Homo-oligomer: A and B are copies of this chain.
């Protein structure tokens, strides 16, 4: 007989439980949405400080204007206005390696470096030494460092110092953020130029320091983006641009011969 244990939602005739709590009495009206999302992902209730860092990450990732995912959601809604779920799902499907993947890639990268260290450094000098070795190794392997560099914020991504400050205020500036910050300090010595630590990367470091599952870091970026895509749809309802976007592409089409 199959048996699927779960600590998530369950209900009987009179009661609904979620994460071992009475949903109506103990969750509704008492647990914020960011807090609940954290709790669902870890099965432990986060502290107020953890919620603040987590929600700062979600805010940092929620919307970046007319990204491919936003355009996709608007165009899908134009084509299939009867299916909000399709428009949101289509937008999320762009959350892959290139545009939303940095958060996950950076968190995993920092984690892998730390996993190879016997005991983590205890001061900035120690972090700088580890970061220097890390950047050199990547340079020799001709590999990029996830989270380093930004095509717009060339002098610094404003989200990075802000998230680091919030994590510090909450006592949650852990080894992933420490290593990431040190990479920011030392990489010019190796690369010969100064690149910004980007916001998507610092979000990955902060999520990893919160102990969230590495396999799901991209999932949190997608959760944030879901709120952003709802905002895109709400704006599209009031100031529609999707049809103009479609027409601008359609008009620029130029028939060309097949190229076998």
Contacts and interface: CB of A to CB of B under 8 A. Distances in A.
Interface of A: 1-20, 22-25, 27-29, 31-34, 36-37, 40-44, 51-52, 54-56, 58-60, 62-72, 75-76, 78-90, 92-101, 152-156, 158-159, 161-163, 165-166, 169, 199, 213, 215-216, 218-220, 222-224, 226-228, 230-235, 237-239, 241-242, 244-246, 248-250, 252-260
Given A8-B232, A11-B64, A92 B94 contact: no
A159 B28 contact: yes
Contacts of A89: 86, 89-90, 92-93
A32 B29 contact: no
A2 B242 CA distance: 12
Given A60-B28, A245-B249, A254-B4, A88 B222 contact: yes
Contact of A226 (B15, B31, B222): B222
A166 B28 contact: yes
